Structure formats: structure tokens, C-alpha cells
Structure 1
Amino acid sequence: MTAREAILALDLGTTVCKAVLFGQAGEVLASAERRLAMRRTGDGGAEQDPETWWSAATAAVRAAVAGVPQVSLAAIALCAQRETLVPVDERMRPLHDAMLWLDARGSDLAVRWRERYGPALQDWTGLVPGAPYSAGKIHWWKQHRPEVASRARWYLQPKDDLVYRLTGRVATDVTLAARTLLYNARVRAWQPELLADLGIEERQLPPVLAPDEWVGEVTRDAAEAWGIPPGTPVLLGGGDRPCEVLGCALAPGEVMESSGTTSNVAAVTRDPRPGHPAVSATPHVVPGQWVWELGLAGTGAGLEWLGAWVVEAPHGWADLDRRLSASRPGAGGLLALPFFLGARAPRWSPEAGGALVGLRGTQGSPDVVRAVAEGLAYELNAALGALRAAGVRVEAVRVTGGLARSSVWNRIKASVYRCPVRQGQVAYGAAFGAFLLTARRLGWPVDDKTARRWNPVVREYLPDPAWVRLYQTGYQVYEEVYRRLSPAFSALAAYRRLSEEASPHNPTNALNPDDGLC
């Protein structure tokens, strides 16, 4: 039997690492995934053991390639989570657990830089200054772990770490460099003022290459670990978000909404300047194009928190649909502000906290789940509004990510957005985008029309007129509640910090049944 030529795409996400084998017709030959754990700290931190990136990737790849023995591996395509950072020493050993993109520590740097540099900061970096970016993590290590910062030879994002382990080469790509708050993507250079202010040297940051460059070949050690041929070429690839945008194969008038651990709305353009203060611009993996985007905080993460602490956890999107269907539209008058990890775009309020408003004794756990899902839809609608205000034509929204398969949530969003919501055939959006980029680099006949044919719309959700009227009112109430609660977020954040510092119990003042008080 003649071996089929294939590309192995690896998507190293925040909570899941996916390995997907794609054939020459864009078909999925095999796939596997492995979970990644994260650790929350009591001071707003979120960390991950960087060794698990390689172990999860190894397990996922071995499982995927074992399912299709008759394959000739043409290349490896890479994409990964952005902004997450790990410091390594001269021997490439981690000096500290990686600080994830959702780690809020170090956010004071963005505040200070916004005050010091004003509009120039966003003009240089293309980013709305905030907590997620890599610079804040370096700042935190310098302030709180100086012994780590003093020994750091390199600061690497997750894909950079994979590239080194696969090929022995240290390199990053422009889509990742542009998410550090240190890189000027328009001139393709690290911004010297910001490096000097942070107190690091350019040599501590990886060389920046184009996403469609061949970065090297798989070493013998890496090949043995993954169960693939040594010498397999590796395409550098890009961040998960621009790869998802490419994988969605957007038609004119479509924008992307990706919802998994978090949510993001994005549009493709050739203009590096959005002209809207809430919209970030980062280079696309496609040369000459830019992605205008707004990243929200804690979509899937918020639903997981809800499941763990408030109601019984939904198990997958089908169970989520069942729970959403058990509550009527509007969740019985219950409204949620879904700021479980603070508010990112378009509000950029890191001290914002989540809230349930309108609780009554007639409501049950399905109403809580639905209120959160509706609140997330309202917040996504606010982000789409910022894209529209920046001049983007939003005629339909193409959904991808783990939560894209929730049909009830898609119906809710279509009515909140007041435009069609479209679900594509390919479940692995970022991996598919990395595959397309690599296929084009190999010279396979892949253009935009081919990509749309390989990832067609399989289901379209249209706005329900009755739901539209309800959700128009709901969105107005949502914005009013946010406006009224917003002044209290700073005080609530201070109260939360006091609570985090307090002892969990005080035995000397504990109530005693004999006191007659309990």
C-alpha cells in the first residue's frame, strides 16, 4: 500500500494539547489530545509546569500517528497559546513555572506604561495595554523573584519551547512577539524604550521569524520521543488565534468568534491601525495581513468555575445544551456579569468581578447556567460593537473553539448579535489553520476557495425575532448594571485582597455550642 502524504499539526492550548494528522484533501486522518493542568495562586496568579507541554505533546502525537501507520509525514505545523511565558537558563532549563496569559500578576506594569507613554504605547505595540501580555510577567519576576530574573537567559512562550525541543533552534514568530507588549510589529523590531524600561536585553528574547518559515528539522532525540521520522521539516507557525482565523476560512463580511477557555472576536484586514482604543492589531500568519481582535476573559474557565462551585458541572457541550434548555430565555430575570477573571476587551477593567443580579427564590441552577451564558453573549456583543465602531463589516459570525458546538448558546448569540452565527465543519480550527499555512508552504494547491470547501458551514443559526426583542432589553439592562457596579469594583478588589490575607479560621474566637450562639 502506498503511504499517504500528511501534515502533522500540533495545537498547544491552555488546557488541551491537540495533535491532528491532515491529508492532502484537508481531511482529518487521525487526532488525539491530552489535558494540561494549571495551578491557581492566591494572589491572582495562574501557572503551568512547562515540562507538561512536551509530555502532553509527545503523548498526543504518539497516539495520533499510531492510528494511521501508512502515512508519509511531509511536515510538522505548529500553533500555541500566546503571552504565556517561562524563563530558562543557559542550559534551557526552566527557572520557574510558566506564568499563563490569564495570570493577573504584573498588571501594574501596563498601568504604569500607559501613564508614562500614553498613546505611543498602543501605536508601538498595536496592543491595548493590559494584564495578559508577556512583559508583565517579566516585570513580576523582577519584582518578586529576582533570583529567577537574574539567571534568565531566554524568555520563551510555549511554542518557542516546543520549537527548541524539536529542532534545537531558539526562535519565535512575529504573531507571538507581537503579544509581549515589547515588540513593534509594524517595523518588525523590539521596541528599545520598552526593553530598557523593563530592564532586559534583546538577547534574552528569541529571534523573530515569519510564521511561514521553515525553522528546522526534527532531531533524532525528538523523533524517537514522538515516534516520527528524524529530519521531518518543521514550519514555525503562529499563535493559536491567527491560526484559528486562517482555519475558519472567513468569507467577506464574516468575523471570527472563538470560545474555549476564553473568547476572542477577530477580523482580517490589511490595515495595522484599527483606530479604536479597545481594539488590538496583531500580525496575521498570512503575510501582509493583520488581525484586529478583542480578547475576553474566562469564558470556558468561567463555566468550569461555575460548575465546580455553584452548580453541578456541565460535562461537555451536549450537557451544556441540556442545562441551557432547562431555563427559559432571560433566565427568569437573572443576569450575570461574567467577569470571573476580571474584564478584558472591550472594557479593560482588571479589578472587575463577576456578579449575579436579580436572584429570587423561584430560580434554580439551570437559570444560573443560562444567565452566565447570556452574560457571556452580551459581553461578546460589546466586543463586536467595538469592531463595528472600528469600521469592520459584521454580517455574520463564524464560531470555532470547544464551545462552538453548543447549539443553544449559538442560538442565544445569534439573537443577541442580531446576525447569523455559522458553525464550520472542522472542529480543530487552530490546528487546521496551521495545516493550511504549512500546506501552502509545501506548494500544495490550497487557496481561500479550497480552504472554504474543506471547512464549509455545516450549520447556521439565525436570530429568533422573539428572542431578539428580549435580548435587546437584556443587553440594555446588562450595560446599566455594569455602569452602576463599575465604581465599586476597586473597593471590592481591595476587600477581596483583605479576605485573601485573612486567616481561614480563628480558633480562639470560634463559636462554642455552649455559648448559646449556635
Structure 2
Amino acid sequence: MSDQHPPGSTATLDGIWLGLDLGTQSARCLAVDGTGQVLATAARPLTGRRVGRRHEQDAEEWWSALSAACREALAGIDATRVRGLAVDGTSGTILLADAHGAPLTPGLMYDDGRAADQAAAVNEAGGAVWRELGYRSMPPSWALPKLRWLLDHEPGLANGTRLLHQVDVVTWKLVGHQVPSDASHALKTGYHLVEERWPHEVLDRLGVPETLLPDVVRPGTVLGTVCAEAAEATGIPAGTAVVAGMTDGCAAQIGAGALTPGAWNAVLGTTLVLKGSSDHLIRDPAGVVYCHRGPGESWLPGGASSSGAGVISQYFHSENLDVLTEQAAALDPDAVAYPLVSTGGERFPFRAPEAEPFILGDVPTRAAEFHAYLLGVACIERLCFDYLDHLGAPTGGPLTLTGGGARNAYWCRLRAEVLGRPVHVPEHAEGALGMAVLAATASGASLRDAAAAMVRPGTELRPDPARTARYLPVYLRFIDELTRRGWLDPAVADHARRRAAQ
């Protein structure tokens, strides 16, 4: 990621910058100016297919939905002022395409878990490299096991077949020919972030042809410019700079401005994702935390839980959440639920494929049950920070809360009080904004300067120390139960208890 300009750079952010976001459920275009003012936004839905551990999307739909979103967003603004764009996508989503970029397979999505056998082979072949890179092993949902699965089930692929990450489909269309992938999306395909190369010795053992793999550059690199055909499809002016993006979690982190060492962004969507900034590579013996490369020599450690706000849509989908929140806040009970969303177990802050939801305490009403899940997410979030501290990651910097769950003001305050630390809820924080900020580095500004100019800090919430003390026994009871069930390492639980005692 380019960060060549020191703080105080005089590079201009004049113009309009576009952030393009490919999520699980929608494709979005956001247009902002150099002060972070949102000028226009539009989205189109995406559809997927889930069968057991399989999760696929039609890659052609990524382009058609994003093109339509861009046309709508740009229709009401002066598109001639657009200077650059960047694209984010879901982490670990891949497909195979022909030499012209046409998809040969569906997109295997970020949480597709079909490649269990291939993951074992990948970890046997590359374990030493994965340990060096800090994440120890690859689960089946990562891109390299899924690539090996595709090669096992798509025999006789023609010469010129390409591996594409989700955003590579879009950047190929935008520029009119294949351009390099970014190192952020290439991470889960095994890209060596320290040496900045593909580990060909590992890939050779796995039978992955070198010709299949894209070139890779750091996020923030200018890949090319929008071609005439893409301009007609999207409404983005031909000649607009196309900047290498990052995965959706990193995009949200940039959109929240969490770029200084010790700063963190907590994205509460269907699941909870934490992304932070560190001045050194964080290595995790358990393999649940991994690092992207950040600006300059910094690293972006993080983890994605299988717990989160998805429990609300699972258990309370037909109910009035505003009313439930008001009732839950008035009750303020101390029952706590383990808010696991996935049927495949937990992946952060501990790895436990056998994990399943539970509730500690009495929940005699729907409001009490609702509150137990809100409190459970806050306890998982605190355990994530305790685990990160256990690994030696810096955790004491500013914390921002983003994602759909951050729209619930009571939940944000509850999370701040369980954590016992101030939090900020930015005015606008989403992956698309992060990509607009990254696109603005094409002006010559550093990423931190662009974020300082374009990310608006929003609301600060400070915890009530008395309420933090009230929730502490709930948190300790929660980690005791996770430990009793054999999911949480006792050493991690002890570390969490020591931090609580301080």
C-alpha cells in the first residue's frame, strides 16, 4: 500500500472519489469529495446459493449489479469531477476464468467450506510458510484450499485459465484487460506478504500451475484507467484511475480511520470482525488471527468471528427491534447468550468447530432473551481484545464501532461499558467509504492524510465505570463457561481474568 507522502502532504484531494463495494448481499457505489462529504450512493442486490457447506454466487452478477449501482449514483452528480476509484470484495472469494476474463466456474464465496480435504493437503504442503506469516494453517474457507478443490473438480482446463479473486473480475472489466490482484485479496490464496511473492515451492507441491496466478501489487497501486466500454456500462468517465483495493474488512477499517498503531475498528454485521493496526507482524500459534500489510511498514492484524448480530435476524426476525431494545434497556438483566451465528462452530477469538450457542441465566421474556444476545456480543468482543492482547498486539488505541449493529445506540453503549473503554461511532463508516479514501491516494496523498481529511469522527461514547463493574462478573462467568466446555484455551481465559483484575 502506497504511503510515500509524509503527514502534512500538500497533495490535493479535489474532485470526486468512488468506493465500490462487493458485499455478500449487495453491490454498492459511494461517491465522496475530498472532505468526506457523501455526494451520492446506490446499491443493487446480489443473490447467492447455499447448499450445506457450499456458498456460490454468479460472478457475472457482480459486474451487472455494480454497473447499475454506479450509473444510479453518478446520474445526479457532476461525473466529470471523478478522479479515481477502488474496489473491495469479500475475503477468500474466488473463481476460475478463461483467457478473456469470462467466468468458467461460479464464485466460491468467502465462507464456502467444501474444501476440507484440500485444506489438509494445503497445510501439509505449506505449514512452514503459513507459520512464518503468522496464521499457522488455512481453514477450508480460505482461497487456496478452494482453488485446489476447483482444480480437482474442473479437469481439462484450457491454456490461459486464470484464478481471479472477486474484485479481479471487476477490475478486468473496468480497465479492459487483466490487471494485477492486490495483496490483500491474495493473502488467503497463500501470497507471501513478507517476501511479496507467490510461494512457488508450496504451490508446485500442490500442483497449482504458475500460469494460473495473477501478478500481485500492494493496495493503493494505480492499476490502470477506466476503458471506454466500461465507461459506457457504468457512467464512470473513461480515463478515471483504477486503484488496487483491499478486502471488505480492511476497507471498513480504512473507512473508520483506524490506521495508527493500537487503533481498532469493530465491524458488527452478521458476524463480528475486528481489524487493527500494529507496528509489527502478529503471529498467532492458534491460527485465528492473521495480518494484512498496512501503509508503509505497518501491519493490519484482525480476526473474523462466527458470532455476531446475525443471531438477531435468526431469533427475532419478525419482531420490532426498536421496541425490544427499549424494553431490554429498561430491564437490563444479567443473563448472557453465546451469540454464535454459524453452524460450523467458532473461528475467533478461539477455534472450536464443535461450538454451539447457549444461554447463561434466566430469560423469562423476549426482551430479556434479546438483551442476553446483545450482552453476549459485547462479551465476545471483550474476549477478542483479551485474546489480541495475549498475542502481543497493541490494543490500547482508539476504537471505532461500525457495521449494521452500530446503528443501535443502546447496543453501542452496552459494548462500551462491557469493554470499559471509550468508543467512537463514525458519521459515515463503511467499506465503500474506505475504498474512496484509498482511491484518493491516487492524488499523491498518503493514506493516513486522505483518511484524516475524509473520515468524520462522529459520536464518542464513554462508559460508566459503575456499569462496567456491574458487567464484569457476567463476563467472567461467560469465559468460565467457554472454558468448561473445552472451547477456550485455559491460558487465554487466565489472561482475560488477569486483565479484568487490573
TM-score range relative to shorter protein: 0.7 to 0.9
Matches within 5 A, 1:98-497: 98-114=107-123, 118=127, 120-124=129-133, 126=135, 129-143=138-152, 145-147=153-155, 153-170=161-178, 171-180=180-189, 182-250=190-258, 253-274=262-283, 277=286, 278-284=288-294, 286-297=295-306, 299-308=308-317, 312=318, 321-322=325-326, 324-325=328-329, 328-330=332-334, 333=335, 335-341=337-343, 342-358=345-361, 363-391=364-392, 392-428=394-430, 430-443=431-444, 448=448, 451-452=451-452, 454-486=454-486
* Equivalent-residue separation in structure 2 for 1:400 and 1:127 (angstroms): 29
Q: CA deviation at 1:247?
A: 2.5
Q: CA deviation at 1:481?
A: 2.6
What code does the residue aligned with 1:29 have?
L
Structure with higher RCO (Cα < 8 A, 6+ apart): 2
Q: CA deviation at 1:365?
A: 2.9
Q: CA deviation at 1:50?
A: 1.3
What code does the residue aligned with 1:174 have?
A
1:437–1:199: structure 2 CA closer, same or farther, 3 Å change rule? same
In structure 2, which of residues 27, 33, 42 is the aligned counterpart of residue 32 of structure 1?
42
What code does the residue aligned with 1:403 have?
G
* Equivalent-residue separation in structure 1 for 2:157 and 2:472 (angstroms): 50
Q: CA deviation at 1:71?
A: 4.5
1:126–1:480: structure 2 CA closer, same or farther, 3 Å change rule? closer
* Equivalent-residue separation in structure 1 for 2:86 and 2:323 (angstroms): 33
What code does the residue aligned with 2:414 have?
I
Q: CA deviation at 1:296?
A: 1.1
* Equivalent-residue separation in structure 2 for 1:453 and 1:76 (angstroms): 17
* Equivalent-residue separation in structure 1 for 2:435 and 2:113 (angstroms): 29
CA RMSD after TM alignment: 2.9
- Aligned equivalent of 1:509: none
What code does the residue aligned with 1:388 have?
D
* Equivalent-residue separation in structure 1 for 2:320 and 2:104 (angstroms): 37
* Equivalent-residue separation in structure 1 for 2:95 and 2:324 (angstroms): 34
Moved more, 82-91 or 51-60: 82-91
User: Counterpart of 2:56 in 1: which secondary structure?
Assistant: strand
For residues 150-185 of structure 1, what are the alpha-carbon distances to aligned partners after superposition, in whole Å with 9 as ceiling and x for unaligned? 8881121111110011112322011111122x2111
For residues 73-95 of structure 1, what are the alpha-carbon distances to aligned partners after superposition, in whole Å with 9 as ceiling and x for unaligned? 21222222211111223342222
What code does the residue aligned with 2:375 have?
E
1:13 to 2:23 alignment: yes
Structure label with greater radius of gyration: 1
What count of residue pairs does the alignment treat as equivalent? 470
* Equivalent-residue separation in structure 1 for 2:29 and 2:244 (angstroms): 16
For residues 204-257 of structure 1, what are the alpha-carbon distances to aligned partners after superposition, in whole Å with 9 as ceiling and x for unaligned? 121101222221221222111112322222112222222322222235643211
CA contact 2:95–2:164 (8 Å) conserved in 1: yes
User: Counterpart of 1:385 in 2: which secondary structure?
Assistant: helix
Moved more, 109-118 or 382-391: 109-118
* Equivalent-residue separation in structure 2 for 1:292 and 1:307 (angstroms): 33
1:230–1:441: structure 2 CA closer, same or farther, 3 Å change rule? closer
User: Counterpart of 2:15 in 1: which secondary structure?
Assistant: strand
* Equivalent-residue separation in structure 2 for 1:151 and 1:371 (angstroms): 55
Unaligned runs of 5+ in 2: 1-13, 488-502
CA contact 2:49–2:56 (8 Å) conserved in 1: yes
The two structures have a TM-score, normalised by structure 2, of: 0.84
Q: CA deviation at 1:134?
A: 0.3
* Equivalent-residue separation in structure 1 for 2:254 and 2:43 (angstroms): 21
CA contact 2:45–2:65 (8 Å) conserved in 1: yes
Q: CA deviation at 1:61?
A: 0.7
- Aligned equivalent of 1:490: none
In structure 2, which of residues 71, 75, 81 is the aligned counterpart of residue 72 of structure 1?
81
What code does the residue aligned with 1:425 have?
E
* Equivalent-residue separation in structure 1 for 2:462 and 2:283 (angstroms): 29
Q: CA deviation at 1:63?
A: 1.1
Work out the percentage of aligned pairs sharing the same amino acid. 26
Q: CA deviation at 1:320?
A: 7.2
1:255–1:89: structure 2 CA closer, same or farther, 3 Å change rule? same
Matches within 5 A, 1:56-71: 56-69=65-78, 71=80
User: Counterpart of 1:178 in 2: which secondary structure?
Assistant: helix
User: Counterpart of 1:165 in 2: which secondary structure?
Assistant: helix
Moved more, 292-301 or 448-457: 448-457
1:189–1:136: structure 2 CA closer, same or farther, 3 Å change rule? same
User: Counterpart of 1:31 in 2: which secondary structure?
Assistant: strand
What code does the residue aligned with 2:351 have?
W
* Equivalent-residue separation in structure 1 for 2:312 and 2:159 (angstroms): 38
1:320–1:432: structure 2 CA closer, same or farther, 3 Å change rule? farther
What code does the residue aligned with 1:283 have?
R
